[in-house]
Amino acid sequence: MRDVAVIGIGMIKWGELWEKSLRTIFVEAALNAIDDAGVDHIDSMYVGCMSSGLFVGQEHLGALLADYLGIAPVSAVRVESACASGGAAFRQGFIEVASGMSDIVLVGGVEKMTDVSGGGATFALSTAADQEYEVYNGVTFPGLYAMMARAHMERYGTTRKQLAQVAVKNHENGSKNPHAQFQMKITVDQVINSVMIADPLTILDCSPITDGAAAAILCPLEVARKISKKPVVKVKSSSAATDSIAIHQRKDITHLQAAEDAAAKAYKLAGVEPSDVDLAEVHDCFTIAEICAIEALGFVEKGKGGSATEAGETAIGGRIPINPSGGLKAKGHPVGATGVAQICEVVTQLRGDAGERQVENARIGLTQNMGGTCASCVVHILEVA
């Protein structure tokens, strides 16, 4: 297996992109990544996308996007793992370069979610849940995460204020990210008093419906050292795991077992411990999701995610900065693009290019991207080479 590096990243401004199509936002992000990498060809491409068929009526994305990017006839494949589609696509690109099958691989993530009604978007997202046991009985993802939040609060004493503090922190970070959908700061009171979605979660506890794309260029580490004009970022490890889709089948609905399993493999492959990680981008689709994620990843003791957040441990400048990009909560959550955008943020941080949201002396970063209520999870660890 060859060592693999990220030599190019590309983002666009996320939000409600009414005047742009799925193919145009993908191409824009991909061209930004190609320009950042300084490469003159692409050998292969993977595209993370959860549900383009339901959101925009378009399947067969590999060929479509390779054509519009102008790189046909290269191999181009869409990868789907619900909200973890972007992370899974990046993993496939990593494997292809590491195996020696290709030298220059483009990994993109894209979703165009606002071309359908709110009900249409809710339906599309619900396909990541268990259709027979959850969706048929009327449970939505806000409802599922609300149950997880309530159980966490009852078992560990997590407070409503601590949940809200996750959103406050991530909006603070997002206010410094030019690509973020929401660039405004919010308060704990605003979160708690906003429109109730599924008790105890209000609308400001929930990630938004977003249009967006992100892209990254992978190549062998030895090639990156020869051609890159920027700090080289190595992919130290890539891992994935799964769990039951329906949360009632799990031993503990407050624990993200697939995240713990994927992280354990990633740490072992990278030869690092949670304490070695300088920053992490985690899947905060709801505020409780970030609290559960940092516990499963080993950054805080089980049940202490809320108190650690309230104490400022996860803020920029804290012990372990979480979601300096603003996370899904503020940066936005175009589901198929999220995992690749996490990679873009970690690479930006490790290069020292994050500006106001820069994590000081960042050398090792982690991404955690999950599908549904963490029925699938992908973890990557990256390091300045």
What residues act catalytically?
83, 333
Residues 244, 250 contacting (CB under 8 angstroms) = yes
Q: How many CB atoms lie within 10 A of CB 353?
A: 12
Residue 168, classed as helix, strand or coil, is helix
Q: How many residues are there in the chain?
A: 385
Which residues are CB-neighbours of 121 under 8 A, at least 6 positions away? 55, 113, 114, 209
DSSP 92-135: HHHHHHHHTS-SSEEEEEEEE-TTS-HHHHHHHHHTTS-TTTTG
- Bridge partners of 83, per DSSP, are 81
Helices and strands counted in the chain (H then E) = 14, 11
Composition of the chain by helix, strand, coil, percent to 5: 40, 20, 40
Helix (H) or strand (E) holding 202, with range, is strand 201-202
Which residues are CB-neighbours of 351 under 8 A, at least 6 positions away? 230, 231, 233, 384
Q: How many angstroms separate the CA atoms of 211 and 315, rounded?
A: 26
Burial of 292 (0-12, 13-18, 19+ CB in 10 A): buried
Residue 315, classed as helix, strand or coil, is coil
Q: How many angstroms separate the CA atoms of 172 and 321, rounded?
A: 12
Q: How many angstroms separate the CA atoms of 209 and 256, rounded?
A: 23
Two tokens, residue 355: 């500006």
